[in-house]
Amino acid sequence: MNPQHKLTYKFNTSSVSTDDIDDDIATILMDRYELNICNRCNMWQKSATEMYWVGEEYTKTTELLNKYDYTAVCDECFDECFEEDKAK
């Protein structure tokens, strides 16, 4: 199997920790596959569809992420931050 196909398959089926990826591969993932790293769990996610970002159209998103000093988090971590903040 071509290593590129293996990499694509791996990222289409699950998130991968930043510890599993070297810097050269990280650059490819960010550029070609439009992936980025969640600031909370350090897992690779699709930037546009699986992450919340500071500066998005909703002020409450930016306010919540700023409380935790995050720039971008995945959907799951955003939900966790929301629940933690609500519990305070």
pLDDT, tens digit, 9 for 90 and up, residues 26-49:
777 778 778 888 999 988 888 888
pLDDT for the residue numbered 13? 40
Q: Alpha helices of the chain — where are they, by DSSP H?
A: 3-13, 23-32, 59-67, 75-87
Residue 33 contacts residue 6 (beta carbons within 8 Å)? no
Q: Which residue has the higher pLDDT, 1 or 8?
A: 8
pLDDT, tens digit, 9 for 90 and up, residues 45-63:
888 888 999 998 789 999 9
